[in-house]
């Protein structure tokens, strides 16, 4: 059965009844999908809808449990990436498959080297890379090291990598997640000129606006199933959103007007270096007040991570001042910052926020285990730990069989709720939340947004860092935009529009 | 792992200061030491092969060394000079070692050419071991089993020599034994996804058991308890060059193999397809996989190549040095080789230099014992191990391993 | 009891793999015995009788079990903090040298002061020797695996120097220290046998380690650092302090083993004192999956293999090194359970093991 709205004639690629199950999840449930030559076909869906699984099957990284892949009308057996490459399929992965310490040329020729007596012929490769870049109208230095390139250029290296192998079908998995509005525009013009050359593109995204802009056909996935296929002219954002989520979505968070109190967090002329010793935060100043959500917007990697690490005592800072409730934070360790009344929802919950092999109980007391009532004279008081953990499990609606369940086995949403429960359970004056909803399902996102607004209404100062403009615009009272380690501009949320923030995120203060 | 908090500047200053104070004390001791030779007007004789020997006034020379070291240890404190503490360390270390050599050279000629030649010879198993480790780690497999691979190869190589009556067949068997043990390491760590350090430990323990068993069950009953050793080969013409000819072109075969391998691997790692793919896997195996490279096959290939090189290093002990096999005869050299590899920042030439430093400290210790220098020999024995620890503590600066080193690659 | 209830459900599955690993390793041993022309039954009968045949044999096996428990605990404690302490051998020497020194050099103290003092100094000696690589790991990123091995070699030389020079008993015919004072003796349990009270000290150490690891905040911090350093720092724990502490406790346990050997068994320290306990300890901890209570049977197994090997050699003419091969196979199967599962067609169970180890060379 072909999916709705897809013409079965002149199909370049078709997937029939693809099934893929992981322990506990049916990631792909009888998916049909067809791509025609010269088409940009979008896969739209929420996190966990099964988009990435589907294209990974197509690229030979997963083997499907059931189903058939047909290319040019013939059954294709794709067991590993090299099979996909030989069928002319190229892929730009969500996490780039590039080696930072190697040059652009080395990255591109890897696996496809031209050799003479076993020695690599670099000159020939460089010439081909230059001519490919010219063909699609962009600059790329073949000798540059990948780690020195900005994210946008790294993505182009990935695209050239596929073109170098003469790919006819290009898969792009969430390519715009790391780009500014401007960079996205440049990417789209490259994609269009590829389309004009007769290449076919599978584009994956969950951003409605850009999907409507670039696609020829949009196929929506939900919970591993195809919901339907539509042409962009026949639909709008609201319809796509409800297809994606399966119900009417309230895109706006309900919140009262801000009643601003005294400043809780003061940051003055702060400079922080990253791990390589390069300046990551360059002279940043701002204040966060009681009852205010201060949102920091910006593309990933513009110094937000280092800023938060310095604020929470995880990393030392070079110069400047941080004070929380009029206590200087310089030289403090994370424990001392916590004791001042700070809660921290870290950007990377699995790396920083949780000890995954621990039971949920231990993660719920991870930041308060050292004091009464949970321990006395270094010896644990298990009854009071158990009762507190049980209470939090219920109050924060963490779906786990019990407090002894290993945290690793919980879903992402419930893991994040565990972090939120632990951090909000304390008496706090400042909440620092970094990317609090990244990679979560809509239900958990709504829940966490509600909790953040609740904290603000309880006279807590909230610092919210997010790369999702929608999140910033619906939660924040004040918006600051970070670009290359500096705050470009700070404005009340009422004055912020998506277009304006988009420009600011590219460093343009119009 | 640096301390999480506290002022970066302060920590850096503290480190610089403690280094300077330490080297200052050492150099003052060195200057005081020079007075010991002042009263009896000692003269040190440094020999340079056929070119004859140079006499040096011991007291004056050590005093100069001490003063240079003193200046060097104060330099980092003067901001304008921009001298790194590492430089201070090198100056002082060189000064102390030179002073010891001058001391040993008092009265009788100290053969400098012999010292360098011996260093090169003793560095052979370390450099080979380091390159074995590099072959594994450049493809992302940590190998702490070099010691065990060397020990097994030393034993099997010797046993094969005894029973097959041929040194060269013995050498071949040693290389094979090394790669068989490496195949086990690859199987455990690549296919079974065992922790690579545990897998290495298993092989090290297995090697002790296996070689002990072979020795007591078979070798002690064999007719020969000692065989000939691999012959010294002089390269025609080149070996006639004074000094260099003696050091580089008159050696036993495994020493030659070692020097050839350093050059060969440098080219192979950075100029060939194999090298590019190997390095890519060590940095980012998934990236290599997505462009169609068979990650598992490359890992097996390189780990087994590494085992073969470790086997060559093992043969150095039994077939090139003693002509016999003893329990635990590799004596921790496999671990020192890992330190040389880290010192050399995973580069063959760097590892060669690192290996030479260890070989040099071994050579010094042997010559000092022969010359009866009144330092307890146990302390001389400790030197290579102490140097290894100092090297690992990062006195030589940051050494970054391949990004995916030690991470098992689990195909999705 | 809560603990028993938990054991009841899980113990069968947890024991299955180690038991099969041991059986398979013994089977490989049998193949080697048969291949070298000896009788498998004679050999293994000798092995068992050598370890448990007579009361004296049992007592001797327990004598060896004592340091195995302590050194096994030492390695396991390091594992819990994500540290691989291969330096237990050196730390054991450090403990033995320190305890011996206090044992013979301090005179005129009553038993109840002298004996605990000698043991304490032994523990401290091991703890200091263990803390150094812990400090280096935390501060410079120098990998503890290499550093502890280097410190083993250094300790071996240092002990040799100390016993042959400043600590030498000039009246003795072999190079050794003087006999320790009677007031520092660890008493024997049964007068006729060599088994001493150190055995009970080792058992007490098992309970102490269990309590520290699972019932106190100290152990919680150590385990958290072991699982996830970033999360530990986030939670306000001092990673440096915990690395040093874990290595010091680990070294202290090894030092206690060394002190026991001097104070309870030999009453002096010989120069040629090569124990090998430190290396077997790694295997014991791996076999026990770092579980403090599982260290006891694991140590007992290793001790009986070591003690039975002599009679095996006499009965079947098989080299005692066979025991090493069997032991290596046991750890191999423990470390790579997939092999055992494949041989016996056992399905994998989720969330098994829970061993944490260091990988690579540590990114400083």
The whole-number pLDDT of residue A139 equals: 83
Q: Which of residues 165-224 of C touch B (CB under 8 A)?
A: 165
CATH number of A1-88+168-249: 3.40.50.300
Prediction ipTM score = 0.87
Q: Which of residues 253-292 of B touch C (CB under 8 A)?
A: none
Residues B217 and B123 in one domain: yes
Cβ atoms of B346 and B139 within 8 Å: the answer is no
Residues B63 and B155 in one domain: no
**Region A118-123 average pLDDT:** 90
Sheet with A263-273, side-by-side order of all strands? A279-289, A263-273, A319-324, A327-328
Confidence band for C138, pLDDT divided at 50, 70 and 90: confident
Residues B87 and B160 in one domain: no
Confidence band for C352, pLDDT divided at 50, 70 and 90: very low
Select from B67, B87, B107 the last residue of a domain.
B107
The whole-number pLDDT of residue B1 equals: 31
Domain-located, residue C31: no
Burial of residue C5, with CB atoms counted within 10 A of its CB: 0-12 exposed, 13-18 middle, 19 or more buried: exposed
Domain-located, residue B21: yes
Candidate from A33-42, A43-52, A448-457, B311-320 with smallest mean pLDDT:
A43-52
Residues B368 and B222 in one domain: yes
* Contact criterion met (CB < 8 Å) for A369 and C217: yes
Q: Which of A112, A119, A334 sits opposite B291 (nearest CB)?
A: A112
Distance in angstroms (rounded) separating the CA atoms of residues B329 and B317: 7
Select from B107, B141, B160 the last residue of a domain.
B107
Domain-located, residue B406: no
Comparing A277 with A173, the larger pLDDT belongs to A173
Query: Which residues 6+ apart lie within 8 Å of B365 measured at CB?
Result: B377, B380, B381, B383, B384
| Count of structural domains, chain B | 2
Helix (H, G, I), strand (E, B), or coil: what is residue A405? coil
pLDDT tens digits for range A454-493: 999 999 999 999 988 888 988 999 999 999 899 999 999 9
CATH number for the domain spanning B171: value is 1.10.3470
The whole-number pLDDT of residue B6 equals: 42
Domains A1-88+168-249 and A253-341+430-510 share a fold: yes
Q: How far is C127 from chain A (nearest CA, A)?
A: 21
What DSSP state is assigned to residue C145?
H
Select from B107, B125, B156 the last residue of a domain.
B107
**Region B244-262 average pLDDT:** 94
Q: Which of B196, B208, B379 sits opposite C359 (nearest CB)?
A: B196
Domain-located, residue B126: yes
Q: What domain range includes position B90?
A: 8-107
Distance in angstroms (rounded) separating the CA atoms of residues C20 and A470: 57
**How remote is the C-alpha of A166 from its chain's centroid?**
29
Q: Residue A322 pairs with which residues in a beta bridge?
A: A267
Domain A253-341+430-510: CATH class, spelled out: alpha beta
H helices of B167-294, where? 167-186, 196-217, 244-248, 253-271, 273-283, 285-290
* Contact criterion met (CB < 8 Å) for C215 and A379: yes
Cβ atoms of C164 and C175 within 8 Å: the answer is yes
Q: How far is B271 from chain A (nearest CA, A)?
A: 6
**Site from B276, B288, B399 to mutate, A interface, most A CB atoms within 10 angstroms:** B276
Confidence band for B397, pLDDT divided at 50, 70 and 90: low
Domain-located, residue B410: no
| Count of structural domains, chain C | 1
> For A319, which residue in chain B has the nearest alpha carbon?
B7
Q: Residue A321 pairs with which residues in a beta bridge?
A: A268
Q: What is the 3-state secondary structure of A22-80? A: ECCEEEEEEEEEEEECCCEEEEECCCCCCHHHHHHHHCCCCCCCEEEEEECCEECCCCC
Residues B92 and B150 in one domain: no
Residues B177 and B315 in one domain: yes
Residues B95 and B53 in one domain: yes
The whole-number pLDDT of residue C349 equals: 57
Distance in angstroms (rounded) separating the CA atoms of residues A429 and A323: 13
Q: How far is A378 from chain C (nearest CA, A)?
A: 5
Domain-located, residue C92: yes
Chain B residues whose beta carbon lies within 8 Å of the beta carbon of residue C331: 198, 201-202, 205
Burial of residue B266, with CB atoms counted within 10 A of its CB: 0-12 exposed, 13-18 middle, 19 or more buried: middle
**Region A298-322 average pLDDT:** 90
Burial of residue B153, with CB atoms counted within 10 A of its CB: 0-12 exposed, 13-18 middle, 19 or more buried: buried
pLDDT tens digits for range B288-339: 999 999 999 999 999 999 999 999 999 999 999 999 999 889 988 998 898 8
Domain-located, residue B412: no
Q: Residue B209 pairs with which residues in a beta bridge?
A: none
Domain-located, residue B400: no
Domain-located, residue C88: yes
Q: Which of residues 49-68 of C touch B (CB under 8 A)?
A: none
The whole-number pLDDT of residue B4 equals: 36
Touching check for C84 and chain B: CB below 8 Å? yes
Helix (H, G, I), strand (E, B), or coil: what is residue B235? coil
Touching check for C290 and chain A: CB below 8 Å? no
Question: What average pLDDT is seen over chain C?
Answer: 89
Domain extents in chain A: 1-88+168-249, 98-166, 253-341+430-510, 347-426
The whole-number pLDDT of residue B83 equals: 74
**Region B77-101 average pLDDT:** 82
Residues B277 and B329 in one domain: yes
∠B139-B144-B146 over CA atoms, to 5°?
90
Query: Which residues 6+ apart lie within 8 Å of A429 measured at CB?
Result: A264, A290, A324, A325, A340, A341, A342, A460, A461
pLDDT tens digits for range B149-201: 999 999 999 999 999 999 999 999 999 999 999 999 999 999 988 888 889 98
Q: Which of residues 110-139 of C touch B (CB under 8 A)?
A: 136-139
Chain A residues whose beta carbon lies within 8 Å of the beta carbon of residue B289: 61, 80-81
Confidence band for A502, pLDDT divided at 50, 70 and 90: confident
Per-position b or e across A196-215, b if 16+ CB within 10 A of its CB: eeebbbbbbbbbbebbbebb
**Region C97-112 average pLDDT:** 94
pLDDT at A499 over 60: yes
Q: How far is A108 from chain B (nearest CA, A)?
A: 9
pLDDT at A42 over 90: yes
Q: How far is A146 from chain C (nearest CA, A)?
A: 21
pLDDT at A238 over 60: yes
Q: Which residue has the tokens 């998934």?
A: B286
Residues B321 and B381 in one domain: yes
pLDDT tens digits for range B6-61: 455 666 777 778 888 888 999 999 999 888 888 888 888 898 887 888 888 999 99
What DSSP state is assigned to residue B106?
B
Touching check for B208 and chain C: CB below 8 Å? yes
Touching check for C215 and chain A: CB below 8 Å? yes
- Tell me how crowded residue C135 is: count the other CB atoms within 10 A of its CB: 18
Distances (CA, A) of A477 to A305, A494, B40, B134, C36: 21, 8, 86, 55, 82
pLDDT at C341 over 90: no
**Region A204-222 average pLDDT:** 90
Nearest to B91 by CA among B13, B12, B24: B24
Candidate from A408-422, B159-173, B388-402 with smallest mean pLDDT:
B388-402
Residues B87 and B182 in one domain: no
What DSSP state is assigned to residue C263?
I
* Contact criterion met (CB < 8 Å) for A102 and B279: yes
Residues B358 and B258 in one domain: yes
Q: Which of C224, C234, C350 sits opposite A314 (nearest CB)?
A: C234
Q: How far is C364 from chain A (nearest CA, A)?
A: 10
**Region A244-256 average pLDDT:** 70
Comparing C37 with B273, the larger pLDDT belongs to B273
Domain-located, residue B146: yes
Q: DSSP readout, B384-399? A: HHHHHHHIIIIIT---
> For C230, which residue in chain A has the nearest alpha carbon?
A352
Indicate the helix (H) or strand (E) that contains A284: strand A279-289
- Tell me how crowded residue B72 is: count the other CB atoms within 10 A of its CB: 22
Q: How far is B181 from chain C (nearest CA, A)?
A: 13
Q: How far is B285 from chain A (nearest CA, A)?
A: 9
* Contact criterion met (CB < 8 Å) for B213 and C324: yes
Q: Residue C270 pairs with which residues in a beta bridge?
A: C176
The whole-number pLDDT of residue A57 equals: 94
Chain A residues whose beta carbon lies within 8 Å of the beta carbon of residue B274: 118
* Contact criterion met (CB < 8 Å) for A315 and B4: yes
Cβ atoms of A316 and B7 within 8 Å: the answer is yes
**Region C175-193 average pLDDT:** 91
Q: How far is A375 from chain C (nearest CA, A)?
A: 7
Confidence band for A7, pLDDT divided at 50, 70 and 90: very low
Domain-located, residue C42: no
Question: What average pLDDT is seen over chain A?
Answer: 89
Distance in angstroms (rounded) separating the CA atoms of residues A449 and A253: 7
Residues B236 and B156 in one domain: yes
Touching check for C230 and chain A: CB below 8 Å? yes
pLDDT at B402 over 60: yes
Chain C residues whose beta carbon lies within 8 Å of the beta carbon of residue A367: 234-236
**Region B261-273 average pLDDT:** 96
Q: Which of C216, C237, C354 sits opposite A378 (nearest CB)?
A: C216
pLDDT tens digits for range A48-65: 788 989 999 999 999 999
* Contact criterion met (CB < 8 Å) for C224 and A346: no
Please give the biggest Cα pair distance in chain C: 65
* Contact criterion met (CB < 8 Å) for B332 and C238: no
**Region C272-276 average pLDDT:** 71
Confidence band for A231, pLDDT divided at 50, 70 and 90: very high
Q: Which of B205, B217, B338 sits opposite C146 (nearest CB)?
A: B338
Q: Which chains contact A through at least 3 pairs of Cβ atoms less than 8 Å apart?
A: B, C
Confidence band for A4, pLDDT divided at 50, 70 and 90: very low
> For C362, which residue in chain B has the nearest alpha carbon?
B1
The whole-number pLDDT of residue C364 equals: 32
The whole-number pLDDT of residue C207 equals: 97
Q: DSSP readout, C321-347? A: HHHHHHHHHHHHHHH-HHHHHHHHTPP
Q: Which of residues 325-354 of C touch A (CB under 8 A)?
A: 350-351, 354
Comparing B379 with C25, the larger pLDDT belongs to C25
Indicate the helix (H) or strand (E) that contains C93: helix C88-105
What DSSP state is assigned to residue A353?
I
């Amino acid at each position: 059965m072909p999916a709705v709205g897809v013409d079965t004639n002149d199909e370049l690629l078709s997937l029939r009844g693809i099934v893929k199950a992981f322990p506990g999840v049916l990631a792909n449930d009888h998916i049909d999908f067809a791509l025609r030559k010269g088409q940009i076909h979008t896969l739209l869906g929420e996190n966990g809808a099964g988009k990435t699984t589907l294209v990974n099957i197509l690229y030979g990284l997963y083997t499907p449990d059931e189903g058939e892949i047909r290319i040019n009308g013939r059954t294709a057996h794709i067991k590993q990436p090299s099979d996909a490459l030989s069928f002319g399929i190229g892929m730009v992965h969500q996490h780039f498959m590039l080696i930072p310490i190697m040059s652009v040329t080395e990255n591109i020729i890897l696996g496809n080297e031209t050799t003479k007596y076993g020695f690599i012929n670099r000159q020939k490769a460089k010439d081909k890379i230059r001519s490919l870049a010219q063909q699609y109208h962009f600059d790329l230095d073949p000798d540059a090291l990948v780690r020195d390139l900005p994210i946008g250029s790294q993505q182009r290296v990935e695209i050239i990598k596929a073109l170098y192998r003469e790919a006819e079908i290009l898969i792009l998995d969430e390519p715009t997640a790391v780009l500014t509005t401007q960079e996205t525009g440049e990417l789209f013009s490259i994609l269009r000129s590829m389309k004009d050359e007769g290449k076919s593109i599978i584009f994956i995204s969950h951003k409605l606006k850009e999907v409507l802009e670039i696609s020829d056909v949009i196929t929506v996935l939900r919970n591993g199933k195809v919901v339907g296929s539509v042409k962009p002219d026949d639909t709008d954002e609201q319809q796509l959103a409800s297809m994606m989520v399966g119900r009417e979505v309230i895109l706006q968070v309900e919140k009262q007007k801000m009643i601003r109190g005294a400043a809780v967090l003061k940051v003055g002329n702060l400079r922080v270096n990253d791990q390589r010793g390069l300046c990551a935060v360059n002279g940043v100043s701002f204040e966060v007040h009681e009852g205010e959500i201060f949102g920091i917007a910006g593309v990933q990697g513009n110094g937000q991570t280092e800023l938060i690490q310095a604020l929470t005592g995880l990393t030392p800072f070079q110069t400047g001042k941080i004070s929380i409730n009029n206590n200087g934070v310089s030289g403090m360790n994370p424990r001392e910052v916590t004791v001042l009344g700070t809660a921290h929802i870290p950007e990377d919950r699995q790396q920083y926020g949780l000890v995954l092999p621990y039971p949920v109980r231990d993660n719920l007391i991870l930041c308060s285990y050292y004091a009464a009532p949970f321990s006395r004279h270094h010896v644990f008081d298990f009854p009071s730990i158990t009762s507190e953990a049980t209470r939090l499990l219920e109050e924060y609606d963490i779906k786990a069989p019990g407090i002894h369940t290993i945290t690793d086995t919980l879903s992402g949403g419930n893991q994040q709720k565990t972090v939120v429960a632990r951090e909000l359970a304390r008496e706090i004056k400042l909440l620092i939340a970094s990317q609090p909803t990244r990679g979560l399902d809509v239900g958990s996102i709504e829940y966490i947004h509600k909790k953040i607004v609740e904290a603000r209404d309880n006279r807590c100062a909230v610092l919210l860092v997010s790369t999702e403009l929608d999140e910033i615009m619906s939660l924040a009272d004040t918006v600051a935009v970070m670009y290359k380690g500096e705050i470009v501009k700070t404005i009340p949320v009422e004055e912020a529009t998506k277009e304006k923030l988009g420009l600011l995120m590219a460093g343009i203060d119009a | 792992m640096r301390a999480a908090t506290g002022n970066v500047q302060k920590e850096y200053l503290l480190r610089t200061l403690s280094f300077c104070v330490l080297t200052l004390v050492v150099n003052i001791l060195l200057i005081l030491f020079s007075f010991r030779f002042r009263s009896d007007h000692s003269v040190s004789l440094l020999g340079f092969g056929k070119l004859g020997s140079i006499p040096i006034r011991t007291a004056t020379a050590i005093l100069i060394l001490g003063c240079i070291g003193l200046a060097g240890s104060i330099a980092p404190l003067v901001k304008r000079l921009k001298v790194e503490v590492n430089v201070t360390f090198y100056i002082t270390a060189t000064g102390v070692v030179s002073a010891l050599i001058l001391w040993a050279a008092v009265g009788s000629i100290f053969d400098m050419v012999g010292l360098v030649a011996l260093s090169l010879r003793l560095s052979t198993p370390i450099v080979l071991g380091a390159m074995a480790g590099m072959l594994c780690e450049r493809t992302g497999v940590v190998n702490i089993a070099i010691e065990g691979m060397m020990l097994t190869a030393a034993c099997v190589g010797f046993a094969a020599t005894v029973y097959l009556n041929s040194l060269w067949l013995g050498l071949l068997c040693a290389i094979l034994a090394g790669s068989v043990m490496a195949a086990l390491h690859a199987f455990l760590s690549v296919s079974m996804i065992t922790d690579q350090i545990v897998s290495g430990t298993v092989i090290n323990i297995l090697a002790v058991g296996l070689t002990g068993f072979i020795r007591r069950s078979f070798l002690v009953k064999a007719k020969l308890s000692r065989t000939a050793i691999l012959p010294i080969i002089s390269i025609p013409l080149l070996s006639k060059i004074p000094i260099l000819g003696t050091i580089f072109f008159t050696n036993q075969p495994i020493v030659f193999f070692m020097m050839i391998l350093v050059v060969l691997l440098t080219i192979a790692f950075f100029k060939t397809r194999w090298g590019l793919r190997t390095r890519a896997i060590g940095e980012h195996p998934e990236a290599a996989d997505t462009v169609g490279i068979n990650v598992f096959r490359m890992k097996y290939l390189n780990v087994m190549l590494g085992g073969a090189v470790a086997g060559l290093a093992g043969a150095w002990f039994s077939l090139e040095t003693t002509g016999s096999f003893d329990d635990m005869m590799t004596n921790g050299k496999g671990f020192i080789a890992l330190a040389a590899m880290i010192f050399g920042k995973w580069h063959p030439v760097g590892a060669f230099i690192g290996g030479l430093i260890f070989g040099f400290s071994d050579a010094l210790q042997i010559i000092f014992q022969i010359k009866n220098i009144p330092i307890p020999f146990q302390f001389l024995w400790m030197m290579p191990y102490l140097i290894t620890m100092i090297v690992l503590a990062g006195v030589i600066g940051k050494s970054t391993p391949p990004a995916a080193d030690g991470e098992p690659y689990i195909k999705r | 009891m809560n603990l028993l209830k938990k054991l009841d459900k899980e113990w069968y599955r947890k024991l299955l793999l180690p038991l099969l690993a041991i059986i398979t390793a013994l089977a490989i041993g049998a193949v080697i015995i048969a291949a070298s022309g000896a009788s498998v039954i004679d050999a293994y009968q000798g092995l068992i009788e050598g370890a448990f045949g007579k009361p004296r044999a049992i007592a001797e096996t327990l004598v060896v079990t004592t340091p195995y428990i302590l050194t096994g605990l030492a390695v396991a404690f390091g594992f819990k903090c994500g540290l691989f302490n291969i330096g237990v051998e050196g730390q054991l020497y450090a403990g033995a040298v320190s305890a011996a020194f206090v044992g013979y050099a301090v005179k005129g103290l009553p038993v109840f002061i002298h004996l605990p003092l000698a043991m304490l100094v032994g523990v401290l000696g091991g703890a200091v020797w263990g803390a150094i690589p812990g400090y280096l790991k935390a501060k410079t990123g120098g990998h503890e695996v290499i550093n502890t091995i280097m410190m083993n070699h250094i300790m071996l030389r240092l002990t040799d120097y100390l016993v042959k020079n400043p600590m030498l008993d000039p009246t003795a015919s072999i190079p050794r220290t003087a006999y320790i004072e009677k007031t520092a003796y660890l008493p024997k349990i049964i007068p006729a046998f060599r088994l001493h009270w150190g055995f009970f000290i080792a058992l007490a150490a098992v309970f102490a380690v269990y309590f520290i690891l699972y019932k106190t905040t100290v152990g919680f911090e150590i385990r958290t650092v072991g699982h996830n350093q970033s999360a530990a720092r986030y939670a306000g724990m001092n990673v440096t302090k915990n690395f040093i502490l874990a290595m010091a406790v680990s070294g202290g346990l090894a030092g206690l083993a060394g002190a026991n050997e001097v104070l309870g068994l030999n009453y002096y320290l010989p120069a040629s004192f090569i124990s090998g306990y430190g290396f077997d300890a790694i295997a014991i901890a791996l076999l026990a999956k770092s579980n403090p209570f599982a260290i006891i049977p694991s140590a007992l197994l290793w001790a009986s293999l070591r003690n039975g090997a002599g009679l095996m050699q006499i009965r079947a003419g098989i080299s005692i090194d066979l025991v090493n091969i069997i032991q290596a196979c046991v750890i191999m199967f423990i470390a790579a359970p997939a092999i055992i599962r494949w041989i016996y067609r056992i399905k994998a169970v989720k969330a098994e093991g829970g061993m944490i180890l260091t990988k690579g060379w540590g990114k400083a």
